[in-house]
Amino acid sequence: MNILHLDSAITSDASVSRKLTADIVARLTAADPAASVTYRDLNEGVPAIDTTWFRAVRVGTDNPTPEEEARVETSDRLLAEVQDADTLVIGLPVYNFSIPAQLKNWLDQIARAGVSFRYTAEGPEGLLKDKRAFVAYTAAGTPIGSDLDHASGYLRHMLGFMGITDVTFVPADGLAMDRAAGMARAQAALEQIAA
């Protein structure tokens, strides 16, 4: 099993989502000691897509500039990590009711027509199939699945759009109101994870 472990929290060692992603990876590797893990901290920087990225990655040029070559290389590397993975473990701390900017940047980098999805006569088809994802959802005050939660549904949609439809959330929500209850919900979800 190849695991891609992604963190995106800005709170460093105080992050609950980082603790939960580490716990998920520990459960998976305990069940499969031969598993390999690729770790990426999205908080260390994922470039936002822009006009240069569009020209280089989506359009392509015959004579790319060094900057355009760098954009393609970054996008290709991020996408290859997903293509090589059987299992994704994603930290999803909720900021201002949605996903962190660095996680959105990562999704934008890997959502590439003809590579991670394609358009067909029947509609879009995800090309990153036969993978599963575990998402550590953490929020101080945004209950998962509530009208205020613009994070979990969006991430589930984007993963599914690219073919990753086996998505399990490990929620630790309501942490500002009742931290113990939020962590208990997460622990109960962790115990349901089977490699």
Q: Quick check: 146 and 181 in contact, CB under 8 A?
A: no
16 is known to lie in a ligand binding site? yes
Task: Provide the 8-state DSSP code for 49.
Answer: P
This prediction's pTM: 0.94
Task: Pick the range with the lowest mean pLDDT from 36-45, 49-58, 105-114, 129-138.
Answer: 49-58
Q: What angle do CA 71, 106, 75 make, to 5 degrees?
A: 25
Q: Quick check: 82 and 66 in contact, CB under 8 A?
A: no
- Identify the structural domains of the chain with CATH numbers, from first to last: 2-50+79-190 (3.40.50.360)
Angle at which helices 101-110 and 66-84 pack, to 10 degrees? 90
17 is known to lie in a ligand binding site? yes
pLDDT band at residue 64 under the 50/70/90 scheme: confident
- How far lies 55's CA from each of 15, 49, 63, 115, 150, in Å? 36, 10, 11, 16, 30
75 is known to lie in a ligand binding site? no
